[in-house]
Amino acid sequence: MGRRLPQMLSWTGLLTSFALAWSTGVLAAKTPENYALDPVHTRVAFQVSHAGFSNPVGSFSGSHGHLAFDAEDWSTATVDVTVPVTSLNLGDADWQKRILDRTFFDAKKFPEAHFVSTRVEKTGDHTGQVHGELTLHGITRPVTLAVTLNALKRHPLTLRRTVGFSATATIHRKDFGMDAWPNVVGDEIRLIIEAEAIRSDRRADDQEPAHADP
């Protein structure tokens, strides 16, 4: 027994080392990659009833933020996005000025909206739900985005690994303290989001063959 004890300890140590190495490799493989939102190819739009006659579309440009994403494990994903409210485009300068004043967005006081994910779940082969908190007009409320993964591959022009999503959600403006003109502007707001994000690690892009299909 005296001779076997060192051998047993040696085997135990070796097995422990293998176990640690294996678990570290698994964890490393599941670490989501970091992406920076591409403000040029990202747009946040919304639709709202105009006195019941139509559902005009407005949009915001210049959004910025970051995404951590692993296509094999959506539960590890995180999203943090800032939307410049002052970039509002309604197609009419006078109408935009009214919507950005204190009656609605009060953009001078609250120039940005901010969304941070709290949980991400996969619902289909290319779909999921992003649960998070949206801060708008100085008020934070829970919001769930229905998301579709459009593509995750090297961009044919930039050769950078890029991920693209489409997303929708429904919010109510009264929840964010914007309740003016109820007979003219609807309360229910449909959000329409098109987003692209570029992998932050440029070295990883350079190491991949240009013809590789990620």
Listed residue (16, 34, 21, 57) closest to 193, CA to CA: 57
Query: 51 and 148 share a domain?
Result: yes
Count of the separate structural domains present in the chain:
2
Query: 121 and 141 share a domain?
Result: yes
Could you tell me the two tokens for 14?
A: 């070796």
Is residue 183 scored above 90 in pLDDT? yes
Q: Is residue 214 part of a domain?
A: no
From first CA to last CA, the distance across the chain in angstroms is 55
Listed residue (34, 35, 89, 94) closest to 62, CA to CA: 89
* Alpha-carbon torsion angle 70, 201, 152, 192, nearest 10: 90
Query: 26 and 93 share a domain?
Result: no
Residues 105 and 60: beta-carbon distance below 8 Å? no
Which phi and psi (to 5°) does residue 100 adopt? -85, -10
pLDDT digits (tens, 9 = 90+) for 128-178: 999 999 999 999 999 999 999 999 999 999 999 999 999 999 999 999 999
Q: Which helix (H) or strand (E) holds 33?
A: strand 33-37
Instruction: Please give the pLDDT value at position 2.
Output: 53
Q: What is the mean pLDDT of residues 179-204?
A: 94
d(CA 166, CA 193): 6
Q: Is residue 174 part of a domain?
A: yes
Q: Is residue 212 part of a domain?
A: no
Query: 15 and 66 share a domain?
Result: no
Is the whole model's pTM more than 0.95, yes or no? Answer: no
Instruction: Please give the pLDDT value at position 210.
Output: 57
Which phi and psi (to 5°) does residue 14 adopt? -65, -45
Q: Which helix (H) or strand (E) holds 20?
A: helix 4-29
Instruction: Please give the pLDDT value at position 201.
Output: 84
pLDDT digits (tens, 9 = 90+) for 6-52: 454 454 454 454 444 444 444 445 689 999 999 999 999 999 999 99
Q: Is residue 49 part of a domain?
A: yes
Q: Is residue 170 part of a domain?
A: yes
Could you tell me the two tokens for 182?
A: 């109820």
Task: Residue 130: give its domain's CATH number.
Answer: 2.40.128.110
Q: Is residue 14 part of a domain?
A: yes
Query: 100 and 9 share a domain?
Result: no
Query: 172 and 140 share a domain?
Result: yes
DSSP states of 167-197 as a string?
Answer: EEEEEEGGGGT----TTTB-SEEEEEEEEEE
Query: 150 and 90 share a domain?
Result: yes
Range of the domain at 18: 1-30
Query: 162 and 92 share a domain?
Result: yes
Instruction: Please give the pLDDT value at position 126.
Output: 98
Instruction: Please give the pLDDT value at position 20.
Output: 47
Query: 43 and 122 share a domain?
Result: yes
pLDDT digits (tens, 9 = 90+) for 93-133: 999 999 999 999 999 999 999 999 999 999 999 999 999 99
